[in-house]
A and B are shown apart, each in its own frame.
Chain A
Amino acid sequence: MSMLQLKYDIPGDDFTRAGEASGDVKQKLKKLGYNPAAIRRVAIAMYEGEINVVIHGGGGEAVVDVDPDKVSILLIDHGPGIADVEKAMQEGWSTAPDNVRSLGFGAGMGLPNMKKYSDEMEIDSVVGKGTKLKLVVYAQSSKA
């Protein structure tokens, strides 16, 4: 049980609001005086996850548990799920539609970046049901 829990609805129909939840988490971690390097890794990893929930999941929710030593981010959507997680982890592999690619998204770096910037990552995806993604970032970590 974490000390502080933050919850967000991530709307799937309004692309212009993508990034609001991770932006709010970043501001709050700054207010908490969290380690700046960890804040950056949380902000980037969660942003990538949030964008995925909007592009692929059709919206969902984010639950962020903040502890003094780590931040755990749970992203849940009820979208199509990931058929081949191993493939999705490869850099450059993407199923994003053209309209979001034209905005600079869908480069196939989402999951690889989440892996790169988090200390722990778990994907629980069922085709046709949705995806649960858990990211953990430690306040003190050897990751840059």
Chain B
Amino acid sequence: MANFYHSVTLDKDKCVGCTNCIKRCPTEAIRVRDGKAVITQERCIDCGECIRICPHHAKRARHDPLAIVKRFKYKIALPAPSLYGQFNNLDDQDYVLSGLKALDFDDVVEVSGAAELVSEATRRLMDSGAIRRPVISSACPAVVRLIRVRFPDLCDHVLPLRSPMEIAATIAKQAAMAKTGLPEEDIGCFFISPCPAKVTEVRDPICVEKSKVDGVLAISEIFPPLSHRMDRLEAAAIEPLSSSGIIGVGWATSGGESAALLKEKYLAADGIHNVIRVLEEVEDERIGDLDFIELNACTGGCVGGVLCVENPYIAQARLQRLRKYLPVSQSHLAANEPVPREMKWESELEFSNVMSLSPDIGKAMMMMMEIDDLEQTLPQLDCGACGSPTCRAFAEDVVKGISKKTDCIFTLRGKVEALSSMFGEQEETQEPES
């Protein structure tokens, strides 16, 4: 439990202790304590909702500085497909890819190319019937972490394939070793990311022992120098670097991954609260006959990530333009062969029971009765002034011993009134004597 890594962090000086983030968090992972937000590490899924909602910019996404690339002899950029949506009037990914090479990279490998391989592998795995239907996408690390802590019975529906980012890094490193003769540790792969959950996926991977990615750079940080460099590119410097088509670029937006499966019975939901609603329905088998479910924590899909610079809907419109004259797909797996082992997860996704009240079910039941009783005495306003997101969550916190009853300002007011009326009565009884 102690070694959870998170890319969402708090700037204490900026936090004013308001209730915006505690109320928005999908796993009720945040409390306000002593006037500052505190994140419960084992519950946080790095979805970035708190970063998006904080009006004081006190929540930050941790990512690597651009200077990190200098630590490696051979540097490879792995741009996320959402990067292309950040540029106006882009007709060809090669402008962006050549711009990245001009910036400080020896090579560029498109994550959208690897995404096309994941799409093919998914089709093969689904046709073999090896995974429980409906198959749930594993590309969004926040969604995988959400399922791990909140939906125990859905863990074996999750697609057991590595993300396009990981596969791009694997391919890039193999190619670079063959090309340069350098050992693997001299080759650095850097993902250019729309979201902080990818930082967590690299530092604290699930179902994979160690990530092949050496650093995660924010789109928002690389965008200014990159667009500057792209403006100054000579025509001769534009190299044919792209390895992806409509399918790969489509992964940047919600619905792209499912469309690539060429199946009709799918659903694509985006925005973490919508994702939760869908997962609840899948869990209760209310969703009907579906083959595939694509879930993205951010609104609009990866283009809605908090490290993007452009509005997700504008980015989506730009990608539609870019995709218009692309081939359907440019990266393919070897025909008639099983899905390569290095594309698969190394271990199964296991439920992490961080929401339950106690490991002892008898004790948990006693606690729940106490919580139910206490909840009845609370105002049900869910005001958040106590530091917990709802009255129910506050009752839980009190029973768990991490909050005091008088942290509720209504309970406190009741006590103060009771005290003052007691003194008031004494004064009244004293009055006739004077």
Please give the residue numbers on chain A whose beta carbons come within 8 Å of chain B beta carbons, in ascending order: 3-4, 22-23, 26, 28, 30-34, 36-37, 39-40, 43-44, 47, 66, 68, 104
Contacts and interface: CB of A to CB of B under 8 A. Distances in A.
B369 A33 contact: no
Contact of B286 (A3, A36, A47): A47
A4 B361 contact: no
Given A30-B356, A44-B285, A47-B284, A37 B368 contact: no
A43 B369 contact: no
Nearest first, the 10 A-B pairs at minimum CB distance are: A33-B356, A36-B152, A32-B364, A36-B153, A40-B153, A4-B365, A3-B365, A68-B361, A43-B284, A31-B357
Contacts of A43: 283-284
Contacts of A68: 361-362, 365
A28 B150 contact: no
Contacts of B150: 30
A30 B351 CA distance: 12
B288 interface: yes
Given A23-B280, A40-B283, A44-B285, A30 B365 contact: no
Interface string B347-371: 0000101011111011011101100
Contact of B362 (A3, A22, A36, A37): A3
Interface string B282-323: 011110100000000000000000000000000000000000
A104 B358 contact: no
Nearest to A37: B153
Interface residues of B, number: 24
Contacts of B359: 33
B365 A66 contact: yes
Contacts of B365: 3-4, 32, 66, 68
B152 A31 contact: no
Nearest to A33: B356
B369 A3 contact: yes
A3 B153 CA distance: 25
A33 B368 contact: no
B153 A28 contact: no
A36 B147 CA distance: 13
Contact of B357 (A22, A23, A33, A66): A33
B94 to A, nearest CB: 48
27 contacts: A3-B365, A3-B366, A4-B365, A4-B368, A22-B284, A23-B280, A28-B368, A30-B356, A31-B356, A31-B357, A31-B364, A31-B368, A32-B357, A32-B365, A33-B353, A33-B361, A36-B152, A36-B153, A36-B351, A40-B153, A40-B283, A40-B284, A44-B284, A44-B285, A47-B284, A68-B361, A68-B362
Contacts of A44: 284-285
B364 A33 contact: yes
Q: For A33, A36, A104, which residue has the most chain B Cβ atoms within 10 angstroms?
A: A33
A94 to B, nearest CB: 17
Given A31-B368, A43-B283, 13 more contacts: A4-B365, A26-B284, A30-B152, A30-B355, A32-B356, A32-B357, A32-B361, A32-B365, A33-B357, A33-B358, A44-B284, A47-B286, A68-B362
Contacts of A36: 152-153, 351
B131 to A, nearest CB: 17
A30 B352 CA distance: 12
Contacts of B288: 104
B302 to A, nearest CB: 29
A70 to B, nearest CB: 12
B385 to A, nearest CB: 23
A69 to B, nearest CB: 9
Nearest to A40: B153
A37 B365 CA distance: 19
Nearest to A51: B286
A4 B153 contact: no
A36 B359 CA distance: 14
Nearest to A6: B372
Nearest to A39: B153
Contacts of B368: 4, 28, 31-32
A66 B357 CA distance: 15
B331 to A, nearest CB: 37
Which of A3, A23, A32 neighbours the largest number of chain B CB atoms within 10 Å of its CB? A32
A50 B361 CA distance: 26
Contacts of B153: 36-37, 39-40
Contacts of B361: 32-34, 68
B284 A4 contact: no
A113 B79 CA distance: 48
Contacts of B369: 3-4
B397 to A, nearest CB: 13
